[in-house]
Amino acid sequence: MMAASSRKELPHVLHRLRLETRAEHEAIESVLGLVDDGLTLARYIRILERFWGFYRKAEELLPAFAGGLASTNPRARLLTNFSGTQDDPAVARRIALAQIDAGADLIFTMLNTGRSGAIDACRERGVKQIGNVRDWVAAMPEVFVASAVADAGFAVFQAGRDLSDNLWKGETVKRFGVRHPDAVRLALAPTVQGVVRDRVDALTKEMAAGGIAIPTTYSGPEFMPA
C-alpha cells in the first residue's frame, strides 16, 4: 500500500517541485541585472516577454531584473514588452528588431519556440542575447553571452532518489535556488571577462546568504513597438 500511495502522489508533488524550481528564477534574473553593466557597455536592456501565470512567482522576474540593472547601472534604459505569446517566432523577431532599432544592444528572452525569432533578429543585427531555462551559451555561443539556467530535471532526480532511498514524504515542497548550482545558475560565455565572473560569484554568494533584497514590484513603462 505504501508503494502504491507514493506512486500516486509522485506526479503531483513532482509538478510542485518543478514549479518551485522555476520560481527560483528571480534570483538568477536579479544577478543578471546586477552584473549587466559589466557584461557589456549596454545603454539599453530589454526583456522580450514575460508570461504571467506560466509558473509561480512569474510576476517577480521582471522586478528582479529591473532592480538589479538599476542598482548597478542607473543610466541604463530598460525596454520591456509583454508580447502575449511564447511560441510565435515572427512576433518575437518583430519585437526584438523594434527594440534593437530603439537602441537595445543586449536582449534577454523568456520564450519557448518563439525564441528562434529573437535569435534570428540578434544574428541579423549582431546583438547578443541572454537566454533562460537551459544553457543557451553552450548551444549557441555565437549568439548568447549568458543564460539563466533552471534545470527542472534536478528536482525530478531528487524526488526519485528520495523514493529509492525510502526518504519520500508526500505533500512536501522543496525549494531550489542559487544555493543549488546544479539546478539554478548563471552560465556565462567564455568571452565574459574574469572580473565580471568574480563579481557574479560574489553576488551569487551574497544572494544565497540572504544579503540581497530582491524587488517584487515593477512600475516602469512598457515598450510598445511601432
Does 14 have pLDDT greater than 50? no
Mean pLDDT, the chain, rounded, equals: 77
Mean of pLDDT values over 81-89 = 87
Across 66-70, 91-95, 152-156, 198-202, the highest mean pLDDT is recorded for 91-95
DSSP string, 63-129: HHHHHHHHHH-TT-EEEE---S-SS-HHHHHHHHHHHHHTT--EEE---STTHHHHHHHHHHHT-EE
Backbone angles phi, psi at 150, to 5 degrees: -135, 95
Does 207 have pLDDT greater than 60? yes
For the domain made up of 27-149+180-208, give the CATH fold.
Answer: Rossmann fold (3.40.50)
Which region holds residue 108: left if phi is over 0, alpha if psi is between -120 and 50, else beta? beta
Predicted confidence (pLDDT) per residue in 97-127, tens digit:
999 999 998 999 888 899 999 999 999 999 9
pLDDT band at 76 (very low <50, low <70, confident <90, very high): confident
Predicted confidence (pLDDT) per residue in 194-203, tens digit:
888 888 888 8
pLDDT greater at residue 60 or residue 172: 172
Q: What's the confidence (pLDDT) of residue 102?
A: 92
Q: What's the confidence (pLDDT) of residue 216?
A: 82
Predicted confidence (pLDDT) per residue in 169-197, tens digit:
877 777 778 888 888 889 999 998 888 88
Gap between the Cα atoms of 200 and 195, Å rounded: 9
Gap between the Cα atoms of 155 and 104, Å rounded: 35
Does 49 have pLDDT greater than 90? no
Gap between the Cα atoms of 121 and 101, Å rounded: 11
Which residue do the cell numbers 523577431 mark? 93
What one-letter code names the amino acid at 175?
A: R
